[in-house]
Structure 1
Amino acid sequence: MESAGNMPLAVSSYAGLHGLADDDKFLNLAWTIDEQAYLGIDLPALVAEELTREVSGGTPSISTYGVDDPYGEARLGPAVARFFGTPDGFSVTCGAGVNSLLYALAHLAHGGTTVVVGNVYPDLPVWIERLTAIRPVGIQLGQGGWPIADIEAAKARLVVLERPMLTATAASVEMVQDICSIVAKHGGIVLVDESYANYCPPSYSACTVSHAVTNLVVLRGLSKAYWLGGLRLGYCVASEPLTHQVRALVPPMLASSLSLTIGRRVLEQGDIGWPLRTRIETAKVEVIDRLAQVGLGKDAWTAPFLPYVAFSDRRDILGWLERCGILGKRQLFWDAGSATIMGCQRLSIPLAPHRLARFHKSIGSPERQNRRG
């Protein structure tokens, strides 16, 4: 079995890509590049407004060393509470993107078993094994629903979930609460990675119940949907009793004062993702229908809200699409069945009309399917 030291992290999936933008040769669907235009506000204008205010005011955020707010809670916490409609009873701890929080909180696994439910983003399970020298236990998702009994039987120190999930139906908020209650019986913690949840309405988030349980940690960022990954701002919403444990692991002052200022303004706008959700679903139906016309429909799957279509790990699919002038990528994930890194082939949904038109033109007629081998 491959050791964790040799397992690749998610960022390695971008190595060797032709590029990160469309060009004359390729429509680049290896990642999303056109989603920001479908948000409910002009987000670049809002960011520009904040930057202008920063410069005209003598760069107060850039000049500030936030020792009075080392975890960013005073700056970002009120906006987070309003965004999710969550009362008191939780804490907000900020980091330099979600990845910094994943790495820091991998240390929560010390002292017991870690259970990973379903196939998830690979980095956290890999880091847990590297730090503890113990491989997490994977629990697969079957046709019969979520394996609550298996989670209870594991008596885990840490249970890792992802919401939403690329390859399966994620746990509902109510189910997250149930899992928290079960795990709390033996002192366990539930960690939910909601990096993808920016594509969902705020009510979808497990943050909405962080005050109602004692052992929940939810991680979110501003990269997906917002396209603000360069801010390097991630935040952890934790049940209040976990605040000390979380902050004992997350280094202080990871998030810059300027990033916190911009992030606060973004969250204060509320649910600006609703037009994007509508556009994703419309374009996704069109893309999946087109893939079915060329014989790829039976191979494709997708999850609600997410702007992706995934295929089983067959390189001939992406190879054929590349010959058509369409770039996808191999998406890595930690596989709950084998407890190791595996992959699937993924296309991002083209949202802009000219990119969607290029997708149709690149694939061509259904007869082209006969030549894809």
Structure 2
Amino acid sequence: MRPGDIDRWLTGERILLAAGDAAGWTTALTRPGRTISVWPPEAEAPQSDAAVCADWRWRGDEAAHRRFLAEIRRRLRPSGMLVIEQAGATAGFDPLTGRAGPVRFYHPTELATLVGGAGFRVAHVELTSTAEGPAPPGVLIVARALVAPPDSLAVTGWGEESADTRLDLRYADDEAELLDPPPAAVWAGLAASADEVAGHYPVDDPFGSLRGAPVVSRYLGRTVAPAQLYFGAGVTSLLRDLAGLADGGPVLAPAHTHPDLQAWAAFRGAEIEIAAGPATVAGLTAEIRRVRPALVHLDRPAFDASILGLADLVRLAGTAAEAGAAVVVDESAAAYLGPAGSAATVVGEAGNLIVLRGFTKAYSWGGLRAGFAVCSPAIAVRVRELVTPMLIGELALLAALRVLAAGDPLAALRRRVRTVKPRFVERLTTAGLAVEPGHPDIPWVVVADADGAAGRTLAGRGIRGLLPAPAPVPSPPAPGRLHLTVPLSARRIELFDTLFDTVREDVSP
């Protein structure tokens, strides 16, 4: 292959080179302003902009090749380019082993899969030679390094501090006081027996399913068998495990869906498809039929506080089933709807639904790290294979079960949201902001913020909103939106009014 065929894909100044003829390829790829380092790089070397494996020969086994590619990715900046040029198989190729002597030759699709599984997104594949019989032809593969977890996860962006923030409307710290019973009282009742509880090693109930099923069944008003129920260390841990449902196949998610599942699936080699357009039933149905995903991931409520109806969800799950896809519904913020509003009540009406619930939203128990999954009976075996056992601590499990056993403690919170949310929407609208109020029971709204002006104006007054976490892969353009949690308590409403009084003059047309 000519050096120019590789050079056209290279960007940036720092190039990492792996080649049998390192000296020759260094000379061929040298350009003004470009620095080329030969593999392996120095331990303290800065990350490279691109890596080249030229005229590459794969020695050793496939596991070693995966480790090699993963180490190259770690040496690249995020979105750095990888260019691999593998020559066609030489004489003596054995189709049973994929080798010619000690060298492994991959067919183009095999090599693309290997690269994708090492944390790259394959962007281009082309043949560089032909081959006779079963021998692989020469191939050039171009891929971009994905941002690795945890940097690709939502929590990384959320953890960034802002010293000028006086009112953080990304979250709510005034919800728990409206719950009956308050979570603090539940925890206090459990704390007295903390030593005894912490000493229990639940090998007889590693998923919390046996103890949890009767409680969750009463909470939902539906029978949930132990085989359908899995507790974990918050919804985040369950999303990581359930990314395995893609099993390398495509994952489909609407724009602004919580990105963690997609990030982990992409890092395992799955293709990620972000649905363009609004997340309507008609739109998602069309996207499922187009993509034919292995896994569909939905947020309920969505980022814009809209709610997909239960009947619509069941129909959508049926469409996904026709494509052979599982459907994961993240209901981290669905507690506001009450038990009857949960998609967990309809898992028995489909064979491919997994619904995740947590205790951060409404309960304000983000530090508890408790969450659970309720799945359709037909998919329970697959879920059991993926969820990590013994993932939730005993104190967290018992606290979660006690608060669920209390039934629906959010009635007063819902009344408060319905009382103060309309005024909040009116204030934002009067100031010239375009507001999407969403479902009346969901305590947040989104405002249009295509160019970031609304967010900057609010930040200048000490009010911080929540931007949607970016998808882990390039995705179609989506409307710019800013999430603002509704202040519920008198102190937060008063602080919002004080800070917001000067906003109108900056955002009005």
Higher helix share: 1
Larger Rg: 2
Which residue identity lines up with residue 494 of structure 2 in the other structure? A
Residue 208 of structure 2 aligns with an amino acid whose one-letter code is G
Counterpart of 1:85, as a letter, is: G
By how many angstroms is 1:158 displaced? Answer: 1.2
Q: Among 307, 314, 329, which residue is 1:170 paired with? A: 307
Which residue of structure 2 lines up, in the alignment, with residue 60 of structure 1? 196
Structure 2 residue aligned with 1:291: 428
Preserved contact between residue 117 and residue 336 of structure 1 (Cα < 8 Å):
no
Write the distance in 2 (CA, Å) between the matches of 1:174 and 1:294: 37
Long gaps (5+) in structure 1:
none
The unaligned stretches of length 5 or more in structure 2 are 1-78, 80-143
Question: How far did 1:225 drift?
Answer: 0.4
Alpha-carbon distance in 2 for matches of 1:322, 1:26 = 9
Higher relative contact order (CA 8 A, sep 6+): 1
Q: Call closer, same or farther: CA 1:143–1:67 in 2, change over 3 Å.
A: closer
Are residue 370 (structure 1) and residue 505 (structure 2) matched? yes
Which moves more between the two structures, 249-258 or 106-115? 106-115
Indicate how the Cα distance of structure 1 residues 119 and 28 shifts in structure 2: closer, same or farther if over 3 A, else same: closer
Q: Would you say the 8 A contact 1:36–1:226 is kept in 2?
A: yes
**Amino acid across the alignment from 1:351:** L
**Residues 1-373 of structure 1: matches in 2 within 5 Å?**
3-5=145-147, 8-18=152-162, 26-52=166-192, 54-55=193-194, 59-88=195-224, 91-141=228-278, 145-167=282-304, 169-296=306-433, 298=434, 300-304=435-439, 305-311=441-447, 312-334=449-471, 338=475, 344-364=481-501, 369-371=504-506
For each residue in 1:154-206, what CA deviation from the matched residue of structure 2 results, as whole angstroms up to 9, or x when unmatched? 33221111111122633211112112222223432111111111121211111
Quick one: percent identity of the two aligned structures?
Answer: 32
Q: Which amino acid aligns with 1:12?
A: T
CA contact (8 A) 1:28 1:327 kept: yes
- Quick check: 1:27–1:359 contact (8 Å CA) kept in 2? yes
1:215-259 residue CA offsets vs partner (Å, 9 max, x unmatched)? 111111111100111111111101122222112111110001111
CA 1:151/1:314 → structure 2, altered by over 3 Å: closer, same or farther? same
What RMSD over aligned residues (CA atoms) do the two structures have, in Å? 2.7
Shift of residue 146, structure 1, vs aligned partner: 4.5
Alpha carbons of structure 1 residues 143 and 195: separation in structure 2 relative to 1, 3 Å: closer
Q: Work out whether residues 313 and 345 of structure 1, in 8 Å CA contact, stay in contact via their aligned partners in 2.
A: no
Q: State the alpha-carbon separation in 1 of the partners of residues 472 and 147 from structure 2.
A: 16
CA distance in 2, matches of 1:212, 1:369: 49
**Alpha-carbon contact 1:76-1:264 (below 8 Å) kept:** yes
Contact 1:29 1:327 in 2 (8 A): yes
Retained in 2: the 8 A contact 1:166–1:303? Answer: no
Cα offset for 1:320? 1.9
Q: Cα offset for 1:32?
A: 1.1
CA distance, structure 2, for counterparts of residue 339 and residue 108 of structure 1 = 24
Distance of aligned partners of 1:14 and 1:119 in 2 relative to their CA distance in 1, 3 Å threshold: closer
* In structure 2, distance between residues paired with 1:143 and 1:87: 30
- The CA distance in 2 between the partners of 1:146 and 1:170, in whole Å, is 15
Q: Secondary structure at the match of 1:225?
A: coil
Q: How many residues align?
A: 361
CA gap 1:142/1:160 in 2 versus in 1, 3 angstroms: closer
**Shift in alpha-carbon separation, 1:144–1:81, aligned structure 2, 3 A:** closer
- Aligned partners of 1:342, 1:364: CA distance in 2, in Å? 27
TM-score of the aligned structures, taking structure 1 as reference length: 0.87
TM normalised by structure 2 equals 0.65
Q: Tell me how far 1:139 sits from its aligned partner.
A: 4.8
Contact 2:336-2:410 within 8 A present in 1 as well: yes
